Each structure stands twice: as structure tokens, then as C-alpha cells.
């Protein structure tokens, strides 16, 4: 079966019953080696987190998380024309919402996919980590570069068991560059830039560039007089995976 047929088949399976049988068939399409007989009893790490008591996992959500993570442990993760469309199929079914042209590279991790909203033309580069317990909302045409991290929960310093949750919002056309960290409760304004390795502990105003630890405003974004779609947030060469 060629790549396109495999993807079509996965889309059909994911669009019907995502149970242990469906997960087994998708694992076959991924060429993943896994003991099929235990699929009915698996749990994923996030099911053991306290937040799971509030927002839980349906059977479908459990298998979609499992398949997202498993893909990166197979050679097919390195087949971009298989892995990127497959991640898109999973995100469309798993995320709270997922717009068109979503691109995710290898080793993107999140704990509650169903607490993530992404707009159109959003790009996650490899190694992005989304702690989405408190909710993450990402607007249109935003990018998270390699190793960018977003956190939406913290622990009480006197009692680790007490947790607080606060969502993160990233507005349209914002770019979070490599290995930047966004702390709980933060809003990154539209068209803002978070420079590489920054630690964002305060909201970022629209169109500003922030940098450093903690991140401070450095200057306005160099927009060259362009706004929104004029900014050409085209992620890969010749806009591949971003159909108009």
C-alpha cells in the first residue's frame, strides 16, 4: 500500500470508530510493532494526572494521544509526507479545534490535546511542548519554533499537591522562537515576536518583540510595513502543506 492509500485508510478509520481495533489498524498503516492484544487495556500518562478527573479521556482521545506519541517512535516519523498529514488527521479529531493547514514536525508533545485550540496555518516545529491542562488557544498563522514550551499549570510551594491552572493565549500572526518558554496565564499579542530562549512571565503587547529572561520589550516587530497576511507566514519551502 502506498503512502497516499495508507493516509486515506487512516482518515477513514479515524473518522469512524477509534477503539482498540481502529488503533491496531492505524498502527499497521504506520508499520509500528506493538502487542495488539494489550491495546484494550492501555492507559496514557496524562490519565494519571489530577486534571484527568476534570476533563478525562474518552476511548477515542486515549487512542489518538497514543497514536500521536507512537508515530514518533517509528521510522515513519521521518517520512514527512506521511507524518505531517497523519498528525493533521489526529489533531483535527483530537484538538478542541484545529483549523486548516496545520503542520506539526517530530516530537511535539502535549498532555491534554482536547484542551488545545489552533487556528488556520499554524506551525509547530520539532520538540514543541504544550502543557495544556489549563487550556491553550493559538490563533491563525502562528508559529512555535523548535523546543518552544508553553505551561498552563503551577504547584503551590507549600504543598505540591495543590495546583493552579491558567490558560495561555497566542494571538494571530505571533511567532514564538526556538526554546522560548511561556508561563501560565500569559497572552501573546497579535503579530508579536518572542525571541529565542526567552522566558515570558508577562503579557506581550501586539506587534512587539520581547527577549531575555525574564522577557522584556526590545522593540516593535520589524514588519516592513506589512500586517497580517501580508506578513507571508509561509512555513515550508514554496508553502508546501499550506494549500490556499
Ligand X SMILES: CC(C)(COP(=O)(O)OP(=O)(O)OC[C@H]1O[C@@H](n2cnc3c(N)ncnc32)[C@H](O)[C@@H]1OP(=O)(O)O)[C@@H](O)C(=O)NCCC(=O)NCCS
Q: How far is the CB of 157 from ligand X (least distance, A)?
A: 28
Helices (H), 134-174: none
> What is the size of the binding site for ligand X (CB under 6 A)?
14
In angstroms, the CA 227 to CA 73 distance is: 39
Q: How far is the CB of 130 from ligand X (least distance, A)?
A: 17
- Residue from the set 4, 73, 219, 228 that interacts with ligand X by CB under 6 A: 219
* Per-residue mark of binding to ligand X, 141-160 (x: CB under 6 A): ----x---------------
User: Whose Cβ is closer to ligand X: residue 127's or residue 167's?
Assistant: 127
* 200 beta partners: 182
- Residue from the set 46, 70, 125, 140 that interacts with ligand X by CB under 6 A: 125
Question: Taking CB under 6 A as the criterion, which residues in 157-216 touch ligand X?
Answer: 177-178, 193, 195-198, 209, 211-212
104 is an interface residue for ligand X by CB under 6 A = no
Q: Which spans of this chain sit near ligand X (rule: CB under 6 A)?
A: 125, 145, 177-178, 193, 195-198, 209, 211-212, 218-219
Amino acid at each position: 500500500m502506498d503512502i497516499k492509500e495508507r493516509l486515506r485508510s487512516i482518515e477513514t478509520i479515524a473518522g469512524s470508530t477509534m477503539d482498540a481495533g481502529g488503533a491496531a489498524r492505524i498502527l499497521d498503516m504506520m508499520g509500528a510493532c506493538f502487542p495488539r492484544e494489550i491495546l484494550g487495556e492501555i492507559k496514557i500518562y496524562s490519565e494519571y494526572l489530577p486534571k484527568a478527573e476534570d476533563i478525562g479521556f474518552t476511548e477515542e482521545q486515549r487512542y489518538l494521544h497514543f497514536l500521536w506519541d507512537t508515530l514518533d517512535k517509528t521510522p515513519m516519523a521521518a517520512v514527512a509526507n506521511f507524518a505531517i498529514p497523519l498528525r493533521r488527521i489526529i489533531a483535527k479529531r483530537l484538538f478542541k479545534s484545529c483549523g486548516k493547514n496545520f503542520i506539526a514536525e517530530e516530537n511535539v508533545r502535549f498532555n491534554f490535546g482536547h484542551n488545545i485550540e489552533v487556528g488556520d496555518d499554524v506551525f509547530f516545529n520539532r520538540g514543541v511542548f504544550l502543557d495544556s491542562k489549563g487550556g491553550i488557544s493559538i490563533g491563525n498563522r502562528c508559529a512555535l519554533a523548535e523546543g518552544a514550551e508553553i505551561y498552563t499549570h503551577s504547584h503551590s510551594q507549600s504543598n505540591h499537591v495543590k495546583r493552579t491552572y491558567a490558560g495561555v493565549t497566542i494571538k494571530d500572526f505571533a511567532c514564538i522562537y526556538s526554546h522560548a518558554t511561556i508561563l501560565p496565564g500569559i497572552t501573546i499579542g497579535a503579530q508579536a515576536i518572542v525571541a529565542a530562549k526567552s522566558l515570558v512571565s508577562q503579557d506581550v503587547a501586539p506587534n512587539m518583540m520581547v527577549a531575555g529572561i525574564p522577557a522584556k520589550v526590545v522593540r516593535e516587530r520589524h514588519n516592513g510595513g506589512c500586517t497580517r497576511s501580508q506578513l507571508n507566514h509561509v512555513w515550508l519551502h514554496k508553502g508546501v502543506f499550506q494549500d490556499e
